[in-house]
Chains A and B, each alone.
Chain A
């Protein structure tokens, strides 16, 4: 059983919802990332989405674009990110880690070498923003053979037919993008999200996580009431940006945001 499956089953047994922070690896420097991951777990994170910096993050808003730029100053490569996961695994063999990013850094390494290195390091899943199922025939089969879960996005613009297709090819969990827009967008409508989540429930037994637009304990709690997982990114990355000049404070300060959300979700 994969770490993701195990984690979601355990949460389900306790009737708790997954809290899934996103951070960009290497932001604002590569030394911060692993201590921050541990701090996030301690504060109540159930799964970690680790962003792979890319020069052209088309689907991201300004907050995560800037995080990529800060990481790329240190020339953080996909292989470095995989090494960070390996380092994280020396102390934490339970918390699932999903790499989130764009296809080109994976293509640069090659699908097979990437998948082997990722599995060896203890990566559990891959979410490639610009790789919809139609283009993913080769990778999804390979990743499945290697034991990497493939996480796909669904959005308010996704048709019913496509929702079904995505449910069939996804694994680990499904990521519902709550708004039309880039990461960090505002205007989260919980009722609309609930309708869509209920629709997808009828199509799959995979856990359904929701991201984009969740920025505080209240919105985290509201989403936790309708979904299996709450994904939080820009609000954390924003805090990292504010602390970029004093990175030693980042693990404690950023994980506090997660602790607050955890508390609201479990209340």
Chain B
């Protein structure tokens, strides 16, 4: 169950310079290089240190509430009438999503590095809440950058962060969403690099972030693998997860990379439809470029300017994707598809009605695709969906679409 095992299990990506094939790397301004080198060095040392590992595992068990269950969605399976659908219940984690696995890990790094101040970017607010939570627990000063557009969409999470003692800074530059929040967090970091730890919320950004976020999130896939063997007696036929930056998906996928019989399906936000251009699906409809310190698939115009994105779910509303996904796509090891806003909303309602589980709109994309897939598969096949977060934060969005105001 250790992070170190993950690195020595024959999965040698990224290379020493943080490259996943042609992707990843460290495309940042000179001022940040030293901080990234320091982080890399500390992380390599600590991830091999049993004491650090034990503290991480203890926090995951007693603070986050792990392991999260692998739940057989019997009524959903019956309703769909095909393959069996299991849900990996990351929605049951403390703070309501997978995000906390990573913030626990990075906050421990901040503590070991003696940084009294943490900053984070957030889209839907789940990562901001998870960062504010661990900061409260460790007594660290916390500042969260959030696009002004998202501050409006996710008012409840904004208030949660403030209750937790974090300062939430609405970002009004650019498109006022997640990418701009990330720009602003980078600017803060470059200015306060001596005393500040930047908790990146997804498996993206400059090396070593894609690697360390993946390593912290791999607990999802490792548990799923063991639980599948124990509960089903074999590995699933496919694992399915939504992909914005891609941290819940890479956490689920990575431990299955060598299990070639397990299909890995990443579900991007198709917004109003990939053909309309109004979406957030760079792997489905983008091309490689450089943004936020990494080379990866991006939504960009012919001149290399980053395009505005659209998704009903703020957490997927991002024009890039973690570099390991870009690599897995090119290798053909994982497949990437898109689900539109309306399909995700329908899945949100379906799961809520038949299972009494209200998924986050992000996770609803994965549910929607799993329903499509399961229909086409025989009943002895098994799909595991990573239910990456719970939907309480999205009730306002759904109510708005229903024309209901509180």
A residues bordering B, Cβ < 8 Å?
A: 54-62, 65, 69, 72, 75, 77-79, 102-109, 129-132, 134-135, 152-159, 162, 166, 177, 180-182, 185
A152-B30, A157-B33 are known contacts. Are A185 and B174 too (CB-CB below 8 A)? no
With CB as the reference atom, state the residue of chain B lying closest to A102: B290
Whole-angstrom CA separation of A197 from B33 in the bound complex: 19
Q: Mark B173-187, 1 if CB is under 8 A from A, else 0.
A: 110000110010011
Can you report 5 A-B residue pairs in the complex whose CB atoms are below 8 A from each other? A54-B305, A56-B292, A102-B290, A180-B194, A181-B190
Whole-angstrom CA separation of A78 from B192 in the bound complex: 31
With CB as the reference atom, state the residue of chain B lying closest to A103: B290
B193 near A180 with CB under 8 A, answer yes
Q: Closest Cβ of chain A: how far from B290's Cβ, in Å? A: 5
B17 CB-CB contact with A under 8 Å: yes
Whole-angstrom CA separation of A162 from B32 in the bound complex: 13
B25 CB-CB contact with A under 8 Å: yes
A58 near B30 with CB under 8 A, answer no
A158 near B30 with CB under 8 A, answer yes
B34 near A105 with CB under 8 A, answer no
B302 CB-CB contact with A under 8 Å: yes
Q: Mark B186-209, 1 if CB is under 8 A from A, else 0.
A: 110011111000000000000000
Query: Which one, B183, B298, B300, B305, contacts A58 given CB within 8 A?
Result: B183
A107 near B289 with CB under 8 A, answer yes
Query: Which one, B179, B194, B300, contacts A108 given CB within 8 A?
Result: B300
Report, as a range, how many residues of chain B touch the other chain.
35 or more
CB-defined contacts of B29 to chain A, threshold 8 Å: 58-59, 129-130, 132, 153, 155
CB-defined contacts of B34 to chain A, threshold 8 Å: 157-159, 162
With CB as the reference atom, state the residue of chain B lying closest to A65: B173
Q: Select the residue from B27, B30, B183, B190 with max chain A CB neighbours within 10 A.
A: B30
B190 near A135 with CB under 8 A, answer no
With CB as the reference atom, state the residue of chain A lying closest to B185: A58
A132 near B28 with CB under 8 A, answer yes
Q: Which 4 A-B pairs have the closest CB atoms?
A: A108-B304, A105-B304, A77-B303, A59-B29
Q: Closest Cβ of chain A: how far from B256's Cβ, in Å? A: 30
Q: Closest Cβ of chain A: how far from B331's Cβ, in Å? A: 21
B179 near A153 with CB under 8 A, answer no
B277 CB-CB contact with A under 8 Å: no
CB-defined contacts of A79 to chain B, threshold 8 Å: 303
B27 near A157 with CB under 8 A, answer no
Among B17-33, those with CB < 8 Å from A are: 17, 25-33
CB-defined contacts of A69 to chain B, threshold 8 Å: 173-174
B35 CB-CB contact with A under 8 Å: yes
Q: Closest Cβ of chain A: how far from B24's Cβ, in Å? A: 10
